[in-house]
Chain A
Amino acid sequence: MTDDPCRSARLYFDARLAEDIPEGGEQPELRKQIEQHLIECDACLAWQRQTTELIAVAAQVPQFDVPEALTQRILKEAMQQQSRKDSIFASTVAALVAVCALSVLLFVDRCETTTGVMSWLLGMATMAAFAKFVSEPVAAAPAISEGRK
């Protein structure tokens, strides 16, 4: 106990609430002093009762069920996002395959020729075009929230 028994009692009670003192882990002598103080001090007793009541009321605040429509909205949005990701991945793979195929067709046996160099340039341009194409749907992502309201 400190010199201020009210302060000690409240610190003790607070420590119990904060689980700093495990059940049965407190010093019996201190507990006895606090209990005695609560018998004698109406203010601290009221303080303890009010705090306990506050916590009890907070624990009983009603919990609402989530409407199925909201669950479906969440899942639909996730699915849309997944299919957009899948489609971007598929487009990228397709683009890479196309560029490789085109390069092989144009480049084989013509490594030293102007046509060979042109084919590389064409390949690079195709890749750049696909990169732009792939980035556009991502930039348009906020459109997925249309169904929210």
Chain B
Amino acid sequence: MNQETNRIVIVQADDSQLVRLTISGQAKAYEALVRRYQKLVYNVLYQMVQSHEQAADLTQETFMRAYRGLKTFNQGAPFKPWLLRIATNTCLNELRRTSQAVDSLETLLEENPHAEPASRENVESQVEMRMTQQELIKALKQLTPSQRQIFVLRYSHDLSYDEISQTTGLPLTTIKPILFRVREKLRKLMADQSQMHVNEKESD
């Protein structure tokens, strides 16, 4: 097989084939995996840490850990959630190390949102929310890292509930209520921001 044919085979190979080729020592196969997933990993990490420098370091760390751990990877399982799990765990460990609070499952499942018809005072004030990405980024910073992780995986990277469950290690039945709570929290935060803007304009 000449080099060009080999390159085409590698580019077209699926994840599990690339993993097998990498384990057998084909450097180009790992390069293909890196190029396939680096953007996703980098952006998930960036949205969690909000720093390009830190996201770059964590991306590098993620791919090194993945490389070292490939032999233990269950080749019947999907590669993407496995890689994202390494990425987000690396990130959460780093945030723990730098003393940024990482919440427990209990915190993630705090309060019952359905019991209070969600932030009525805000909703009924009929604030017209004109959300911008900057406002969302600002509101995301007020979530805990684990809440941010789940929200970002679902709504910015379109991961399925199954994939989020595999990435976070949380049961599927837990992901849905967590997402509801996180959405509510963000919606309230953004409604409050909009209300503040309205108040500021009125006082001008």
Shortest A135–chain B CB gap in Å is 17
Q: How far is the CA of A57 from the CA of B137 in the complex (A)?
A: 10
A54 touches B183 (CB 8 A): yes
Q: How far is the CA of A50 from the CA of B132 in the complex (A)?
A: 12
Q: How far is the CA of A60 from the CA of B39 in the complex (A)?
A: 15
0/1 string, B140-170, CB within 8 A of A gives 1: 0000000000011001101001000000000
A81 touches B39 (CB 8 A): no
- B186: which A residues are within 8 A, CB to CB? 54
Q: Name A6's closest neighbour in chain B (CB-CB).
A: B117
0/1 string, A59-74, CB within 8 A of B gives 1: 1111111110011011
A51 touches B117 (CB 8 A): no
B60 touches A7 (CB 8 A): no
B133 touches A61 (CB 8 A): yes
- B176: which A residues are within 8 A, CB to CB? 18, 20
Q: Name A59's closest neighbour in chain B (CB-CB).
A: B155
Which of B47, B64, B120, B179 is A78 in contact with, Cβ under 8 Å? B64
Q: Name B68's closest neighbour in chain A (CB-CB).
A: A81
Q: Does B191 contact A (CB under 8 A)?
A: yes
B34 touches A63 (CB 8 A): no
Given known pairs A43-B117, A82-B27, the reply for A54 and B35 (CB within 8 Å) is: no
- CB-CB contacts below 8 Å: B7-63 with A: 25, 27, 30-31, 34-35, 38-39, 42-43, 46-47, 52, 56-57, 59-60, 63
A18 touches B179 (CB 8 A): yes
The total of interchain contacts (Cβ-Cβ below 8 angstroms) comes to 124
Size category, B interface: 35 or more
Stretch at the interface among B79-87, B90-98, B121-129, B196-204: B121-129
0/1 string, A77-88, CB within 8 A of B gives 1: 111011000000
Question: Is chain B's interface secondary structure helix, strand, loop, or mixed overall?
Answer: helix
- B68: which A residues are within 8 A, CB to CB? 81
- A14: which B residues are within 8 A, CB to CB? 114, 180
Q: Name A55's closest neighbour in chain B (CB-CB).
A: B155
A19 touches B161 (CB 8 A): yes
A148 touches B60 (CB 8 A): yes
Given known pairs A43-B117, A57-B133, the reply for A50 and B156 (CB within 8 Å) is: no
Q: Name 17 A/B residue pairs within 8 A (Cβ), A-sorted.
A: A7-B117, A42-B124, A42-B126, A43-B120, A46-B126, A50-B190, A57-B133, A58-B156, A60-B133, A61-B137, A71-B34, A74-B63, A75-B34, A78-B30, A78-B67, A82-B27, A148-B60
Residues of A in contact with B (beta carbons under 8 Å apart): 4, 6-7, 10-11, 14, 17-20, 42-44, 46-47, 49-51, 53-55, 57-67, 70-71, 73-75, 77-79, 81-82, 144-145, 148-149
